[in-house]
Structure 1
Amino acid sequence: MAEHTTSSGRPSKALRRYLVPLALAQFICSFAGSNMNVMINDISADLDTSVQGVQVAITVFLLVMAALMIPGGKLTDKYGRMRCFRAGLTIYGIGALLSAVSPGLGVLILGNSILEGVGTALLIPPVYILATLLFTEVTSRARAFGAISAMGGVGGAAGPLIGGLITWAISWRAAFVFQALVIAVIVWLSRDLRDPLPPNPDRPFDVRGAVLSATGLTALVMGILAADDSTVLMVGLLIVGAVLLAGFVLSNRAKERSGEEPLLSTAVFGSRTANLGLVTQGVQWLMLLGTSFVVATYLQVVRGYDAIETGLIFTAATAGLLASSLAAERLARRRSQRTLVVAGFVLTITGVGVLLALVIGSPSVWAFAPGLLVIGLGLGLMLTPSVNVVQSSFGESLQGEISGLSRSVSNLGSTLGTAIAGTVLVAGLTATPDRAYGLAMAVLAAAGLIGLLAALRLPRTPAP
């Protein structure tokens, strides 16, 4: 499918029409990762579960996405981008409807955490691969990545607000119906979208690698979640996870030495710039989803706010992210991608510091707004440059693998944000809530410093 651009470098109207369902798909998947944060009290009461039970449901959803994103990216080469995209939409829609009618936590985990997670892992890699293949001109591709990444960031930041409004006006169950309706809209909008490259049914799929990577990541995250229950179980799961992931790496290398195709080619780690970009991506989403869970849980469990009040407080983060995302294209013409990512981390870490300084000891709800606004500004500034750095570091032959790896790292960051910061918060929520909140936010700030160090090592002018 040939690309047509205008004299300004903008893609044609027809091609922009294809971008809408791709960006909307990223929006709804990011929305699903954060909108449940404002429903904690409602879901806990309705399904007779605890805050920790809802945290597990949220974390497992993010974990399933992270664990299956690399296999999902690889399947696009074998079965085709559009076939995987539509299969993912179907599975996601079924999961959303099942979640809407769930009678207990188990069914909610099946619908939201498992089915929506699997659906996301199938549909998100094609989003970025199709954007790369359809938008072949450098400027228009950067704009496409910008639109998709911005919609993902807005979905994550606006999830609490939209979820809170729906929960307050109707029910938390209606938020899942809303997701199903958006999926139906995406199916309709993408009806004319075609795969630029034919699938290769004969391409091998590394089942062993997929199992090792998925179970390894699962064991690591479940070990973190077990920290509050049993130290022995936590250490055991972390060791098992590390061993399985080491086995995955060794299996990949053995397959490449024997001339076979592994699940993840070592070539995707051959670019220092892309590796640093992946670190910044993971930390960005860790901070976004970690902050969302910690602040939303603190507001509901400690301050006693309902879903709509909690969601409205997150308007500051959404506004900040929207403002910086809209300005990102203009800023990219004047500043290097490295500069934008570094500035984004500085702002985000500053925002976390403001949340710590103003919230603890203050009964005012307005104390949350300045910090969330600055965090939103920082995240919106750097989400797009990080994706562009990674995705543009490789040619078409590796787009399936790098797209899967990129999304897996981002979702793993989201998972760790909810798991680590959430576990720190939940552990002390009853006895010392302010101290637990402070420790959880400090963990997020420390992660931000790691991202900042990686961003400072990015080249000022990324390699083509």
Structure 2
Amino acid sequence: MPVPPLPASTDSPGPPRAATHRILAPLALAQFICSFAGSNLNVMITDISEDLHTTAQGVQIAITVFLLVMAALMIPGGKLTDRYGRKRCLVAGLLVYGTGALLSAFAPGLGVFILGNSLLEGVGTALLIPPVYILTTLLFTDVTSRARAFGAVMALGGLGAAAGPLIGGLITSALSWRAAFVFQVLVVVLIIVLSREVVDPLPPDPRLSFDTGGALLSATGLVLVVMGILAADDYGWLTVGMLLLGALVLAGFFRRARANERSGREPLLSPTLFRNRASNLALVTQHIQWLILMGVSFVVAAYLQVVRGFDAVHTGVIFTAATLGLLASSLAAERLAKRWAQRTLVMAGFTVTVCGIALLIGMAGGSSSGWAFTPGLLLIGLGTGAMLTPSVNVVQSSFGEERQGEISGLSRSVSNLGSSLGTAIAGTILVADPAFGAYAVALVVLAVIGLGGLGAATLLPAGRRNEPACQKRW
């Protein structure tokens, strides 16, 4: 039997503004630091490889392992919040993440760097990110306050992802790449201090069972899928083989979950989550949004540096346009949610984003100036920021509080897979021939995928302006 969605009364305005800021600050900063960690390494590869006496491929392995660990553990990480508590998992994840960042800052070689950056930071991210979205959903119960809260979280996440290369490049140029990891440690300490204001609204239930076998199957399947995606630009048949094997393992995982549910045992991820059409469609749009955002970032950054010869700082400055656009639309999420339905915002976001991609193709081809990229990047930032918040809001609001651990882990896994797939698709096309022709083809492919996301958005339930789309009955 489907679980009813969370109540979304428009009469309750949510927490007072002062309390909102105290609660949101640590949650939004947690998303920022994880997004920052995922994007700033791209401008440090040369410095790290020289300092650790390794190769660029060695640092790429560290980045890949981080993605694998995070993807593999996100669903189990979300489930653990029900058993041990959301606040406890958030702080535990921050401690593990901070330890990994500190170890990376003083790493004498590649092995210790992989242990700190790839393994510990990956585990910490998988533990702390689901609680961010669960707590945001539980603490903000009406659609406008929840939109404001998710807008702040997504704005800081977008800032970390879009401005990560610029911030990392500036820190590396002024000090060293190790200082960037010290910066992460300091931010983690600040988050832990600020998180004292966050109160978990639900008590943990240590009696809940944890499906270890299901966790192993889901982790193995997701690792194979992500490895297949990341290997797409180098190994054709190996990619196909890993993707097929990953799909088979994940099919076994869902078969186990159904069997557990039929026998009365607690599955790691209930198949009934996929019976909610609104959530399924919003997950598709969420996946495509991150695919486009990371794909465009990779294509433009690689083209500017490899073909145009821009350095990391100059490239980061150009990407400020996307950062500003994403911040502006994300921070306006509350006002937008009061005026338009969630579906309208997602559709508008995809439309603006595809127009931005078209500008990136048209203006970059007709000008040698790096500033010709800024109008397109600004539109992409505005469009992405406008639709990230309502998509997340629809997904999280589609289920009651007892399902938040499961849906948050699933939601984050879907987003991470989108990020990996966007980089792989763009990389496969661009690396073959890093010239304007390949740049244009890669962006056209991303635009077509964006149109697919627009199609999925049109199928979302319309809802009313102050009513979550998930409230509509199917």
**Structure-2-length-normalised TM-score:** 0.90
**Hey, what's the Cα distance between the residues in 2 that align with 1:338 and 1:193?**
31
1:65 positional shift? 2.1
Closer, same or farther: CA 338–75 of 1 in aligned 2, 3 Å:
same
Q: Is the CA contact (8 Å cut-off) linking 2:229 and 2:420 kept in structure 1?
A: no
Q: Is the CA contact (8 Å cut-off) linking 2:322 and 2:380 kept in structure 1?
A: yes
Closer, same or farther: CA 66–104 of 1 in aligned 2, 3 Å:
same
Task: Establish whether residue 460 from structure 1 lines up as the match of residue 459 from structure 2.
Answer: no
1:14 positional shift? 3.0
**Hey, what's the Cα distance between the residues in 1 that align with 2:395 and 2:230?**
30
Task: Establish whether residue 62 from structure 1 lines up as the match of residue 64 from structure 2.
Answer: no
**Hey, what's the Cα distance between the residues in 2 that align with 1:110 and 1:360?**
43
Local SS of the residue matching 1:191 = helix
**Hey, what's the Cα distance between the residues in 2 that align with 1:305 and 1:133?**
45
Q: Is the CA contact (8 Å cut-off) linking 2:230 and 2:421 kept in structure 1?
A: no
1:8 positional shift? 8.9
Closer, same or farther: CA 162–386 of 1 in aligned 2, 3 Å:
same
Out of 358-367 and 65-74, give the one that drifted further: 358-367
The answer for the alignment partner of 1:434 in structure 2 is 436
Q: Is the CA contact (8 Å cut-off) linking 2:230 and 2:420 kept in structure 1?
A: no
**Hey, what's the Cα distance between the residues in 2 that align with 1:106 and 1:286?**
30
Of 181, 187, 190, the residue aligned with 1:176 is: 181
The answer for the alignment partner of 2:371 in structure 1 is 366
Q: Deviations over 1:396-452 (max 9, x none)?
A: 1111111111111112211222233224333434xxx33333333233223212211
Q: Is the CA contact (8 Å cut-off) linking 2:145 and 2:334 kept in structure 1?
A: no
The answer for the alignment partner of 2:269 in structure 1 is 264
1:228 positional shift? 3.7
User: Which amino acid is the alignment partner of residue 454 of structure 2?
Assistant: L
Q: Is the CA contact (8 Å cut-off) linking 1:63 and 1:415 kept in structure 2?
A: no
1:17 positional shift? 0.9
Q: Name structure 2 gaps, 5 residues minimum.
A: 1-8, 464-468
The answer for the alignment partner of 1:11 in structure 2 is 15
The answer for the alignment partner of 1:448 in structure 2 is 450
1:124 positional shift? 0.9
Q: Deviations over 1:149-181 (max 9, x none)?
A: 222222222222222222222222222211111
Local SS of the residue matching 1:194 = coil
Q: Deviations over 1:114-166 (max 9, x none)?
A: 22121111001111111222223443233222221222222222222222222
1:267 positional shift? 2.1
Q: Is the CA contact (8 Å cut-off) linking 2:14 and 2:140 kept in structure 1?
A: no
**Hey, what's the Cα distance between the residues in 1 that align with 2:431 and 2:108?**
25
The answer for the alignment partner of 1:321 in structure 2 is 326
Q: Is the CA contact (8 Å cut-off) linking 1:89 and 1:119 kept in structure 2?
A: yes
Q: Deviations over 1:193-216 (max 9, x none)?
A: 332222111111111111111111
**What is the number of equivalent residue pairs in this alignment?**
456
> Please, what is the CA RMSD of the aligned residues?
2.2
The answer for the alignment partner of 1:248 in structure 2 is 253
Q: Is the CA contact (8 Å cut-off) linking 1:37 and 1:296 kept in structure 2?
A: no
1:45 positional shift? 4.6
Q: Is the CA contact (8 Å cut-off) linking 1:36 and 1:163 kept in structure 2?
A: yes
1:93 positional shift? 0.8
Task: Establish whether residue 149 from structure 1 lines up as the match of residue 154 from structure 2.
Answer: yes
Consecutive aligned runs of 4 or more in structure 1 exceeding 4 Å deviation:
44-56, 103-106
Superposed, 1:31-50 pairs within 5 Å as 31-47=36-52
Question: What fraction of aligned residue pairs are identical, expressed as a percent?
Answer: 70
User: Which amino acid is the alignment partner of residue 162 of structure 2?
Assistant: A
**Hey, what's the Cα distance between the residues in 2 that align with 1:117 and 1:242?**
23
Local SS of the residue matching 1:463 = helix
1:232 positional shift? 3.3
Q: Is the CA contact (8 Å cut-off) linking 1:91 and 1:118 kept in structure 2?
A: yes
1:68 positional shift? 1.3
1:354 positional shift? 1.6
The answer for the alignment partner of 1:235 in structure 2 is 240
**Hey, what's the Cα distance between the residues in 1 that align with 2:299 and 2:111?**
23
Closer, same or farther: CA 98–299 of 1 in aligned 2, 3 Å:
farther
Out of 264-273 and 95-104, give the one that drifted further: 95-104
Superposed, 1:16-415 pairs within 5 Å as 16-47=21-52, 54-360=59-365, 362-415=367-420
**Hey, what's the Cα distance between the residues in 1 that align with 2:461 and 2:149?**
22
Q: Is the CA contact (8 Å cut-off) linking 2:12 and 2:142 kept in structure 1?
A: no
1:99 positional shift? 2.3
**Hey, what's the Cα distance between the residues in 1 that align with 2:67 and 2:419?**
7
Local SS of the residue matching 1:155 = helix
Q: Name structure 1 gaps, 5 residues minimum.
A: none
**Structure-1-length-normalised TM-score:** 0.92
Closer, same or farther: CA 19–278 of 1 in aligned 2, 3 Å:
same
User: Which amino acid is the alignment partner of residue 414 of structure 1?
Assistant: S
Q: Deviations over 1:359-407 (max 9, x none)?
A: 2464321121111111111111111111111111111111111111111
Q: Is the CA contact (8 Å cut-off) linking 1:63 and 1:411 kept in structure 2?
A: no
Closer, same or farther: CA 383–230 of 1 in aligned 2, 3 Å:
closer
Local SS of the residue matching 1:290 = helix
Out of 119-128 and 359-368, give the one that drifted further: 359-368
Closer, same or farther: CA 41–439 of 1 in aligned 2, 3 Å:
farther
Local SS of the residue matching 2:231 = helix
